[in-house]
Chains A and B, each alone.
Chain A
Amino acid sequence: DTGVSQNPRHKITKRGQNVTFRCDPISEHNRLYWYRQTLGQGPEFLTYFQNEAQLEKSRLLSDRFSAERPKGSFSTLEIQRTEQGDSAMYLCASSSDSLEQYFGPGTRLTVT
């Protein structure tokens, strides 16, 4: 399958711990996006990359969040000192032309 993949699919962590999620985009897609979706809401934009450059970050992305895409392929999203309010589905999408974004299945984070 050549779709967007995300790992892990589920993560349960205790408050204060650090977590890291990984996204593998569709091969040769140069744009990669991160979104967060809480229960009953639409996804909210967090940040996006064109190749390895991080072009935009939402104000939702506090200093506890960091995203990287070191070689312009896969990306990681790290949350430090997790809080209960970080519990959400974290979605990754990729695009070759910015017109069509294809989403992965998401990583569901639960902070206890």
Chain B
Amino acid sequence: LAKTTQPISMDSYEGQEVNITCSHNNIATNDYITWYQQFPSQGPRFIIQGYKTKVTNEVASLFIPADRKSSTLSLPRVSLSDTAVYYCLVGGNYGGSQGNLIFGKGTKLSVKP
């Protein structure tokens, strides 16, 4: 199983770029990497997903090195509303086993004015 490791917490200020890295040394060939955002009393919300190299959407970028043993979520110009817990998820997609879905313990991001 691909265990994931993330920093427990991070602090930032409004307008800064935030990079959160997730380590997943045992990632399998079929595993995708997905990042979620969670606010208190809500379910996780999908941010971005990738397999290798770089993926960008309207809210974030995801950088994945060639060995795929880590990934970095990049949030450009964060605001107070980005204060949340961010989870890295490895596995379970695109025909791979569904039983190896491993969430990290999450990174609590605090954005200050």
| Same assembly | no
The interface of chain B, by Cβ under 8 A from chain A, is none
